[in-house]
Amino acid sequence: MSEVTVIGAGIIGICAAIALQDVGYRVEVIDRGLPEVAASYGNCGLLAVGEVVPISKPGILLKIPKWLLDSQGPLHVRPSALIGQLPWLMRFLMASRRAKVESIASALAPILHRAEEDYRELFGRANLNDGLVQAENLMAMNSKSDFENDQYTWSLRSKYGFKHTFLNSEEIRALEPSLGGPICCGVLLKGWLQFSDPGAILNSLQAYFISRGGIIRQGLVKGITLQGGVAKSLTIEGQEPVTVLRLLLAAGAWSGKLARDLGMNIPVAALQGYHHQLPRPGPKLNRPVIYANGGFVLTPLTTGLRIGGTIEIAGHDPVPNFSRADILAEKAKQILPGLDVSGGRQWMGPRPFMPDSLPVIDRAPHHSNVFFAFGHGQVGQTLGATTGRLIAELVSGKKTTLDLGPFRATRFS
């Protein structure tokens, strides 16, 4: 019988499962079995170590009307989802206060500073040394004023030790000769790297976990059965119940529903992201390019060029609006002359977002054998290995190497 059961085989769940094996536990992972619709497969593939500033920041309130009206914008709220998502949106807006943004940045900085080291250690053991590409990310802009008008963000990143270098037109094209269109300057993000391919890395880590005696079971977990203040078993659609000794809830955007079985209302939302992946793009990029004015990222993966981005608030499991992926490809052609968008593959998947952009990494307050690791938002891929190590410390009863207070599950209670 497994000593720890993990719900969710995405990057957070599988990294935690491996870390739990490292400290001696027998681990089983249960996953709904839809890897290609999950954020761990379709994300932009960035090790975004300096992403300490949340999306909700001062000035965001003025942008809400445009989000509602512009279905092609980088952040869109589907009108049909507005009422259902309104409580989450109100908390999201409350997190934009300057003092709150400062506290969010101070909480994220220590955990993000560990990300590269923890991945390199994990990848070394799993024979994935090519999993991280040593090419720092570039943010491209149409004018220097785009950089100057966002000094709040750049100052916060610098304050917490994440450096950047401003580049003029000549310098940016020396790094990326294929870039064209209106781009006239940019910023080199020091320490921001990329993953060779998120989906392939996840597959390799799952295989590594299994090679060490781990079990991955496919099944949709419908509920958690409690007895005497502890989780006793899981109800799985079409299968016999699974008895649990210790339980880690790492089911991404679907974690909130299961947490309600524990009497907890944790406001994790599914913010849909899109990508358009091109197998034969033509022009070559040497590194990921974040296009600030377009709200998307160009990432050269081993499987082709991924054009990813946009945030759509549409509730859980919505029907994809793949016109948003088409828009990404068309916008990319404006800055990458000669881009071949034929034969591309579109994707939509849910990023698990908390209103304050801080993940939940915690022990359930009233159920001693239940632990949480979800809600990582736009830094889920970045924080997989580090979250795994912190969960292993938490489950084994050790003092955690980082203060997990900011990531407690009850902070919105």
Class in CATH terms, 4-41+200-267+357-407: alpha beta
Residue ranges covered by each domain of the chain: 4-41+200-267+357-407, 52-98+129-193+269-353
Span 338-355, average pLDDT: 94
Asked whether the beta carbons of 237 and 32 are under 8 A apart, the reply is: no
Q: Which residue in 173, 199, 201, 187 sits closest to 136, CA to CA?
A: 187
Question: What was the pLDDT predicted at 169?
Answer: 95
Q: How far lies 185's CA from each of 169, 191, 283, 286, 328, in Å?
A: 5, 19, 19, 17, 21
pLDDT band at 314 (very low <50, low <70, confident <90, very high): confident
Question: What was the pLDDT predicted at 78?
Answer: 86
Q: What value, to the nearest 5°, has the Cα angle with vertex 366 and ends 360 and 370?
A: 55
The better pLDDT of the pair 59, 255 is held by 255
Q: What percent of the chain has pLDDT over 70?
A: 98
How many whole angstroms separate alpha carbon 233 and alpha carbon 225? 5
Question: What was the pLDDT predicted at 68?
Answer: 65
How many whole angstroms separate alpha carbon 86 and alpha carbon 44? 27
Question: What was the pLDDT predicted at 59?
Answer: 83
Question: What was the pLDDT predicted at 37?
Answer: 66
3-state secondary structure of 298: strand
Q: CB 60: neighbour CB atoms within 10 A?
A: 17
Token pair in block for residue 216: 């991955």
DSSP letter string over 314-346? --SSPPP-THHHHHHHHHHHHHSTT---TT-EE
Q: Which residue in 413, 311, 292 sits closest to 362, CA to CA?
A: 413
pLDDT band at 235 (very low <50, low <70, confident <90, very high): very high
List Cβ neighbours of 285 (8 Å cut-off, separation of 6 or more): 176, 178, 298, 300, 305, 336
Q: Which residue in 128, 287, 300, 123 sits closest to 193, CA to CA?
A: 287
Q: Are strands 289-291 and 138-141 parallel, antiparallel or unpaired?
A: parallel
> Which residue is listed with tokens 């502890």?
230
| pLDDT tens profile 142-168 | 999 999 999 999 999 999 999 999 999
Q: Which residue in 189, 156, 165 sits closest to 53, CA to CA?
A: 156
Cα-to-chain-centroid distance, residue 164: 22
Residue 57 has pLDDT above 70, yes or no: yes
Asked whether the beta carbons of 156 and 52 are under 8 A apart, the reply is: yes
Class in CATH terms, 52-98+129-193+269-353: alpha beta
Q: How far lies 370's CA from each of 222, 226, 381, 390, 407, in Å?
A: 16, 11, 23, 15, 15
Q: What is the mean pLDDT of the chain?
A: 94
Span 247-260, average pLDDT: 96
Span 166-186, average pLDDT: 96
Residue type present at position 401: T
| pLDDT tens profile 73-123 | 778 888 888 888 899 999 999 999 999 999 999 999 999 999 999 999 999
- Which residues of 177-303 form beta strands (DSSP E)? 185-189, 193-195, 215-218, 221-227, 230-236, 242-243, 247-249, 269-278, 289-291, 296-301
3-state secondary structure of 8: coil
Residue 254 has pLDDT above 70, yes or no: yes
| pLDDT tens profile 375-387 | 999 999 999 999 9
How many whole angstroms separate alpha carbon 7 and alpha carbon 218? 10
DSSP letter string over 75-88? EEE-GGGHHHHHHH
Token pair in block for residue 37: 């619709």
* β partners of residue 277: 306, 345
Residue 300 has pLDDT above 80, yes or no: yes
Question: What was the pLDDT predicted at 74?
Answer: 77
Residue 67 has pLDDT above 70, yes or no: no
How many whole angstroms separate alpha carbon 284 and alpha carbon 94? 41
> What is the longest distance spanned by two Cα atoms in the chain?
67
